[in-house]
Amino acid sequence: MTLGALGGFVAVAVGAFAAHGVQDPRSADLLRTGANYGFMHSMATFASATFMQVGARRARFAPGFFLSGVVLFSGSLYALALGAPRWIGMVTPVGGLLFLAGWATLAWAARGVDP
């Protein structure tokens, strides 16, 4: 939960920086995209806790995928926006796959919940 909250904090800060502190349109777009996905998946970490409370115990695996995805996907976009070498962009799809794994894990966990 702490990491999810910190992820939300970073996403809001980066989004504000993209809106007010960056002149280059491409960099601002990369920062906004990273912030949007980072915030969305930080919130998904909290949703995982809700799933666990209603009996979907397997949801405990999803936050690791979501938060790792934030580090790789959003982090690589932030790095590119701030001037990192272009090869860093090869990491971005790995983060996207981790996001997908987190969502698939939540779908798997939901199957274990009795209506």
HSE-CB of 71 using CA atoms within 13 angstroms: 8
Comparing CA positions, the residue from 109, 90, 88, 94 lying closest to residue 44 is 109
> Tens-digit pLDDT profile for the chain (115 aa)?
899 999 999 999 999 999 999 999 999 999 999 999 999 999 999 999 888 888 888 999 999 999 999 999 999 999 999 999 999 999 999 999 999 999 999 999 988 776 6
Say if 115 falls within a structural domain.
no
**CA quadruple 50, 55, 60, 62: dihedral positive or negative?**
negative
Domain that holds residue 59: 2-110
Counting the structural domains of the chain, the total is 1
The terminus-to-terminus CA distance of the chain in angstroms comes to 26
Give the pLDDT of residue 115: 67
pTM of the model: 0.93
pLDDT score of 12: 97
CA distances, 104 to each of 12, 62, 110 (Å): 26, 8, 10
Phi first, then psi: what are they for 62, rounded to 5°?
-65, -40
Does residue 36 lie in a domain region? yes
Confirm whether 79 is domain-assigned.
yes
Is residue 105 in a domain? yes
